[in-house]
Structure 1
Amino acid sequence: MMDSQQETELIRRIIANDKQLFSVLVDKYKYNVYGIFRGMGASHQDAQDLAQETFIRVYKYLPRHQEGNRFSAWVYTIAVNVMKDHVRKRRPIPAEMDGHAQESDPAATPEQHIIRKEMQRDIYRYLNLLPDTYRLVLLLKYTNELSYEEIMEITGLSSIQVRNALHRGKKRLKKEMEKKGGLAHETFFQ
């Protein structure tokens, strides 16, 4: 696992013309970026294309990243902007999550992997029923573990709007899951 100081040094080296190291950044963020797109309703193919576009922009604008700011928040800001551009061009058809690859716990049993995948699939299916703002804020907070400040920066929402969107989004998600007969996954709502 790379800490922020190592990441900063890696970025410096990439900017200083060690371009092949960019793949390390792509590997670190590709699943989270892909997950944002899938969570926002992009199909598998669109999510892959949008993730690729995101990393092209990250590479292009890497020298503009301000050292000291969290790099992950900057990457997710670019991803959100790519998604906004995509939506402007054409409204994506909501797609069910197909259990996209994510780093998993190697100590987990096969049964735990299956349960985790089913739980993820359920949550993403119900997320698609929420308004875009709620869905995006929930994804940024709970799948990408961003702070309120980072979510504010990415979405352009105020602190109160972020807190309200999180609260209302979780409440509505839980209601939708209970209404449709799904289990309200307690770990998500804590």
Structure 2
Amino acid sequence: MKEQDNAEIIIAEVLAGNREAFAILVDQYKSGLYRLLLGLGASHQDAQDLAQDTFIQAYQKLRSHNEQSSFAAWLYAIAINRFRSQKRRKAFSFSGGSILEERDQTPTPEERYMIKENKLELQKKLARLPERYRIVLLLRYTNELTYEEIAAITGMTLHQVKNRLHRARLKLKKQWPKPKEDSNEKIGLPHTR
């Protein structure tokens, strides 16, 4: 069964009076929602608070959800709107929290250090991007939404979503340093020092 179909069944149960069924949706979407908010620049505490507020608002407005559209897209749109609203009211502190989850493997201490450093570096680079680019990158790659779902959340056309993702990737790529190549190494000559 597709995730969307499952969400619609749960929504129907909630609307029929089974309030506890909403907890299933919370469990299913809480980590993706939290990572999205962290990626947008919310601190750890702000991301938790906004995620909770988003679920409360989604529960209260569940009858207004259009079953033809993805529940995830609808939920993330609420979260983005709550984030923007809160951002206008107070300054967020960038936390440097991770938008990437570590795998359940046992890396060596050196690997753990490198993973942590790479995640922090990615977070810093994402934070430097304008919000319009960060949102599409996070929705696409962290929350794995389709172009159509991103368009529904952001109000952009499909073409605009693809264009913005392309530009966002280019801007992110420009932030990474280019490896310096020694001209002697390029042509196979040894170093002369």
TM-score tier by shorter-chain length is 0.7 to 0.9
Distance 1:2 1:118 in 2: 36
Counterpart of 1:37 in structure 2 is 37
CA RMSD of aligned residues (A): 2.5
Distance 1:136 1:81 in 2: 11
TM-score for the superposition, normalised by structure 1: 0.82
Q: Does 1:146 align with 2:145?
A: yes
Counterpart of 1:6 in structure 2 is 6
Distance 2:73 2:148 in 1: 10
Distance 2:162 2:16 in 1: 40
Counterpart of 1:110 in structure 2 is 107
Contact 1:43/1:95 (8 A) holds in 2: yes
Counterpart of 1:165 in structure 2 is 164
Counterpart of 2:119 in structure 1 is 120
Counterpart of 2:74 in structure 1 is 74
Distance 2:125 2:153 in 1: 23
Distance 1:55 1:117 in 2: 30
Amino acid at match of 2:33: V
Deviates more, 1:128-137 or 1:19-28: 19-28
Distance 2:161 2:177 in 1: 24
The 5-angstrom pairing of residues 45-84 of structure 1 reads 45-84=45-84
Q: Does 1:89 align with 2:89?
A: yes
- Cα shift at 1:101: 8.3
Amino acid at match of 2:140: K
TM-score for the superposition, normalised by structure 2: 0.81
Q: Does 1:20 align with 2:17?
A: no
Q: Which runs of 5+ in 1 are unaligned?
A: 182-190
Contact 1:31/1:101 (8 A) holds in 2: no
Amino acid at match of 1:53: D
Distance 1:2 1:165 in 2: 28
Amino acid at match of 2:138: L
Return closer, same or farther for 1:118/1:26 CA change in 2, 3 Å cut-off: farther
Distance 1:153 1:105 in 2: 31
Runs in 1 of length 4+ with deviation above 6 angstroms? none
Distance 2:51 2:78 in 1: 10
Distance 2:21 2:34 in 1: 20
Identity %: 41
